[in-house]
Amino acid sequence: MSNDSALPLEITVSDLDAMRTRGDEFVLLDVRETAEYETARIEGSKLLPMSEIQQRLSELDEHRQDHIVVQCHHGGRSMQVTQFLQSQGFEKVQNLAGGIDQWSQQIDSSVPRY
């Protein structure tokens, strides 16, 4: 029996907050640059800058079957990475719409905006 319940391409910050509250298993992949990550980050995220993703793709092999939520500043870079990972055979990858900026505005105002 095949699993045809493909995930939507994007999730909202409130979806992500609910997943965290429930304790869902997933990888939050932050694809911003290191300086951005040091400025503001969502607790528990894994940094892998978009500029390095092709060279460092093997670091994600252990997560190939995992649910991955890709996040950046506003959602543009993370959408590109989401589509790239899907093209590399990652099936459970979603983009965080609005990125960390939206997260700061709607979910956790302690995360600095920049």
Write out the catalytic residue numbers: 72
Q: Which two tokens stand for residue 103?
A: 């997260």
What are the residues whose beta carbons fall under 8 Å from the beta carbon of 28, sequence distance 6 or more?
Answer: 16, 42, 44, 45, 46, 69, 71
CA atoms within 13 A on the CB side of 17: 13
List helix spans (H) across the chain: 13-22, 34-39, 76-87, 99-106
